[in-house]
Structure 1
């Protein structure tokens, strides 16, 4: 009997991960004792055997932003322009983690999301490394299980064929065009090619349960997602320069990777990071990141 998408997602999220990443997730949750609900590990480091020198990627899911932060401006920033992103170090490993409430995590994995950033990532493999309780675990699993149907539903009318792997490749190509991405052209296709069996099983399970969106007005929806996604990426980078420790350097690194520049941050830009970030944004236009 074929596996359901929910059972596939549950098994994947529960699969073993590097013990050091799991320890890091627990330490991260401990920083938010009154708000932490789940910690998910995702991204390219999930496939790596040696984590030293790499930057790991986590999502911290919280009950609400009021309990997560002492400072009201951080609550407001996370609510208006989710997520907030912060650096983290533990036992010699470095990471960045994004903070979302349970409600925002569920919404941003669903077809109701107004940008691609969350469901595009969680349609890919991830691990649920820490959960506060069974309810938190099930809510995280349910949210992640919506990511693949969202991507495939939006990709289906844009694909020349309804083959599961073709839909995935179409979907990832479209999402890469809806964000500022530093990766080389073709990266969106290599995601699927790296594990075609996984994507075929997940794709066929999603297609079997039905997709949540009809083909009507899909091209218009993608234009909106792409316009909003590019500008939202800029706004998030500018925000990160203010909320992320060393964020102005992080922004410069992002631009250098994408545009092939060699930006060096000046002392005054570190002193006034938000203004400094705004002066760097034209480089994104010249580098072709914003169209």
Structure 2
């Protein structure tokens, strides 16, 4: 039976985006001429009409890590704890981009993923703004098309008998927000669906019609594992970013202030020793409820 979901994902990924974001995606790919395969634009900025002053979010998909970096510790770090995250500026806009290989991007959007970070994002709208060739485009689309079925399959046993697509989405996003360190206010996970219920119903109904992948035998235990691993990975990635991401601690403060309504100010010593500064900052944020 032909897929009902794949045409919807293809159309959404191919829909127009802000021309400045598209230009930024092309410039980002040009930084990795031997490895770039696709560039995807995602996140809250996708819905904004004015990108000035915002931090855009991209995923750069590469053929493999040695081709992207050469034989360096960055390739090993990206393979062992994907993704690597870097800042980027182009024509007055600022962004951060995460680097994943084609193989890791496909795996982390699927039921094989051991954390929620990729499929939770790509179950939401995104745009494929650049692809090296048609094969790269088709691989990126196929990877993204796994994200919604993964979320819905893992949400269904947890939805207390509610089979409606929107109920599954709301359950799934609530669970994913508990599987990462999040700065957003309580209820943010539900507002994702409420912002565009027609989109989520269309995509959800198509995924259900195609048939979802099998859920784990003990789905609640699987979610507990995802939540434990997700929180640990969030801390580990933060530590890694202190070495790979110039200004990473300032970005952390900016993101938390934006989403949680806090007024965190980074001190000069925290910029000088960002890993130590982040480690000291995190417990305070937990106690104050700024991150969960």
Using the size of structure 2 for normalisation, the TM-score is 0.93
Deviates more, 1:133-142 or 1:228-237: 228-237
SS in 2 for 1:22: helix
**C-alpha distance in structure 2 between counterparts of 1:260 and 1:48, whole Å:** 19
Question: 2:251 — aligned with what?
Answer: 250
Deviates more, 1:46-55 or 1:220-229: 46-55
How big is the shift at 1:169?
0.6
Question: 2:142 — aligned with what?
Answer: 142
**C-alpha distance in structure 2 between counterparts of 1:127 and 1:290, whole Å:** 28
Partners of 1:259 and 1:287 within 8 A in 2:
no
Deviates more, 1:116-125 or 1:232-241: 232-241
1:41-60 correspondence runs (5 A)? 41-60=41-60
Deviates more, 1:53-62 or 1:276-285: 276-285
**C-alpha distance in structure 2 between counterparts of 1:287 and 1:232, whole Å:** 21
Partners of 1:5 and 1:206 within 8 A in 2:
yes
In the alignment, is residue 122 of structure 1 matched against residue 122 of structure 2?
A: yes
Summarize the Cα distance change of 1:255–1:78 in structure 2 as closer, same or farther, 3 Å threshold.
same
In the alignment, is residue 99 of structure 1 matched against residue 103 of structure 2?
A: no
SS in 2 for 1:52: coil
In the alignment, is residue 23 of structure 1 matched against residue 23 of structure 2?
A: yes
Question: 1:231 — aligned with what?
Answer: 232
Question: 1:65 — aligned with what?
Answer: 65
**C-alpha distance in structure 1 between counterparts of 2:167 and 2:187, whole Å:** 14
**C-alpha distance in structure 1 between counterparts of 2:274 and 2:287, whole Å:** 21
Question: 2:283 — aligned with what?
Answer: 282
Q: How many residues align?
A: 291
How big is the shift at 1:274?
2.5
Unmatched 5+ stretches in structure 1? none
SS in 2 for 1:197: helix
Give CA deviations for 1:90-131 in whole Å, capped at 9, x if unaligned: 111111111111011001000010110100000000000000
SS in 2 for 1:34: coil
Question: 2:214 — aligned with what?
Answer: 213
Question: 1:184 — aligned with what?
Answer: 185
SS in 2 for 1:128: strand
Question: 1:269 — aligned with what?
Answer: 270
Partners of 2:3 and 2:210 within 8 A in 1:
no
How big is the shift at 1:257?
5.7
Partners of 1:88 and 1:96 within 8 A in 2:
yes
How big is the shift at 1:69?
1.1
**C-alpha distance in structure 2 between counterparts of 1:81 and 1:164, whole Å:** 33
SS in 2 for 1:180: coil
**C-alpha distance in structure 2 between counterparts of 1:135 and 1:39, whole Å:** 14
**C-alpha distance in structure 2 between counterparts of 1:109 and 1:289, whole Å:** 28
**C-alpha distance in structure 2 between counterparts of 1:52 and 1:260, whole Å:** 20
**C-alpha distance in structure 2 between counterparts of 1:214 and 1:243, whole Å:** 36
How big is the shift at 1:199?
0.8
SS in 2 for 1:117: coil
